[in-house]
Amino acid sequence: MAGTHNYKIFKCFNLKFTVSEPGPPDDVKYIFYKFSSGGDHLSADQLGLFLEKHQGESDLTSSDFTQIVEKILQLRNQNEENESIEKKNEEIETSTEAASSIEGISLDEFFHFLLLNDFNAPLKSQVHHDMNAPLSHYFIYTGHNSYLTGNQLSSDCSDVPIIKSLLDGVRVIELDLWPNSTRDDVIVVHGRTLTSPVALIQCLKSIKEYAFVKSHYPVIITLEDHLPTDLQANVAEMVTEIFGEALYYPETDGMAEFPSPESLKGRILISTKPPKEYLESECSSPTGQMDEPETDSKDESDEEVEDLNASEEKSLQQCAPEYGRLITIHAGKPKGQAKDYLSVVGNVGRLSMCEQRLLKTSASHGDEVIRFTQKNILRIFPKGTRVSSSNFRPHIGWNYGAQMVAFNMQGYGRSLWFMQGMFRGNGGCGYVKKPDCLLSRGPHGEVFNPTRALPVKTTLKVKVYLGTGWSSDFSQTHFDSYSPPDFYTKVCIVGVDNDKVKKKTKVIDDDWFPVWDEGFEFPLTVPELALLRIEVREYDRHESDDFGGQTCLPVFELRPGFRSVPLYDKKGSQLKSVRLFMHFVFVSC
């Protein structure tokens, strides 16, 4: 563990600071003098005590603390000496040993150390959740129509968004399978739309190549199948040949419990309807989409839409046996009454429903939904009218234990920011352990109710000190043609309804390096499901405020103490230099 930390420490010590950046806040000065016992320098032992007591760093050693101080002192000497690299290296080794024995790091060096993103990031970079529970015990990073490059009706289909999703940590990829025009090959396309197809084999090869670049935990491919038996057999051959030993499927039909992410490392799983359901009709939504039945009408019920789809019945042939045996996670769609399709008896499987159906079902059968998700997998997908590839608020699914909240990853907006934020947790591996409240039952079988008012469990105290990096990442006239920007920061909680709150700092006028030095308190009843949403805006008196960066952080993952918080653009890509200097502390009730 120490070796990993050493690598993280030293690879980020080349950060440069400009003279125009603000100096240490008063809180940093106070902490520095507290741990230095009033001295002008912080020794390795004193730095170690600070990291342990204030920052909560429990897995660093005294050797790590010494190396941090020595590295900072080396950089000090490098900046002071204007000599050749060879001569510097010889003198630095000698001067560092002498310096470290009589002094440590200064206040400014301490502050600059705290601003290092890699070492003082707000979240842990390693996987640290228990990964040995069944798959149903995790939220899983899930894509919807993963092959689309843009909108749902006329954009191109490609393996490029699949690759990007995998590199971003997405673990569930959705492919819609159709026969090509000559019915002798399989294509991936959004059926009955104007989208252009991509060959299935290209998508499979890209999944094989990029599946485990970002994360070693399992990739699940959900298939929406519109194929005759002979092409199903072709798919089985393709999948088996391309994935080889990475392909996982059970030896027997059905499973009483899902395997764990840990046991499935490096494996690829197939999820689709079991063979018996291929005799059912193909269903098209009112918008022409070929997803499971869904509705976006204010006066149409799900049952009415199912009746509409039944009128377009078109029988499929029996599933090819070589194809059917590759299905690890059997999928289905809601039929009949909620008490029937939410039954938890028998083998485990996956149920798929649209966002509207979940809202309706959870309102009347919330307990049954949570009991279902304790053992089975629930997938929630966007309603059919989201043709622009927009998304819904993911807590609609997470608050009821839904593991696969399927999102249009090619879109952007706050809902996607929430999704990206949740899966920054647990080292960004794409699997986040669900909180115990969603997995446990009371003595009489009672389960968690996300709509019920609960007592405050903890209070999160957040302080926003300052921001930096905009002058490097944006042009001088990006925010205002004639003066420096006027920044303010929004700090919000997103989670169960009773925990949601929005706050913001004051506006700092005409400053590329704003100093707010403002604190906020957030009493939380279910911190395990809460996200801290942070967004910097540039105040505009005459038009809408300009966007200056954002991030979402899972509250249950926040590291206490002083933290350097990187910000992201609207699509979720990290800005090169922009970051906030913040402080987090939890106060238990």
Residues that are catalytic: 144, 190
Q: Is 50 exposed, middle or buried (0-12, 13-18, 19+ CB in 10 A)?
A: buried
> What CA–CA distances, in Å, run from 6 to 3, 9, 68, 332?
5, 5, 9, 48
Instruction: Show Cβ contacts of residue 297 under 8 Å, excluding neighbours closer than 6 positions.
Output: 286, 305
Quick one: which H or E segment has residue 272?
strand 268-272
Q: Which two tokens stand for residue 523?
A: 């009493």
d(CA 522, CA 467): 21
Q: ∠ CA(429), CA(473), CA(559), 5° rounding?
A: 40
Q: For residue 332, give the H/E element and its range.
A: strand 327-332
Q: What Rg value do the Cα atoms of the chain yield, rounded? A: 27
Residue 404 sits at the vertex; the CA angle it makes with 278 and 426, to the nearest 5 degrees, is 145
Question: How many of the other CB atoms lie within 10 Å of CB of 269?
Answer: 25
Dihedral sign from CA coordinates of 304, 307, 312, 315: positive
Distance, CA of 117 to CA of 578 (rounded, Å): 10
Q: Which residues of 303-331 are buried (b: 16+ CB within 10 A; e: fewer)?
A: eebbebbeeeeeebeebbeebbbbbbbbb
Structure tokens at 248: 């996982």
From the number of C-beta atoms within 10 Å of its C-beta (0-12, 13-18, 19+), residue 531 rates as: buried
Q: What is the DSSP string of 511-566?
A: -SS-EEEEEEEEEES-GGG-EEEEEEEE--SSSPPEEEEEEEEEGGGPPPEEEEEE
Rounded CA-CA distance 410/388 in Å is 10
Is residue 233 within 8 A of residue 322, CB to CB? The reply is yes
| Other beta carbons within 10 Å of 37 | 9
Residue pair 411/388 in contact by the 8 Å Cβ criterion? yes
CB within 8 Å of 559: residues ≥ 6 apart: 55, 56, 121, 122, 123, 124, 584
CA dihedral of 392, 396, 402, 407, whole degrees rounded to 10: 10
CB hemisphere CA count around 246 (13 angstroms): 22
Q: Which residue is it, tokens 């689709």?
A: 272
Start-end of H helices in 423-493: 470-473
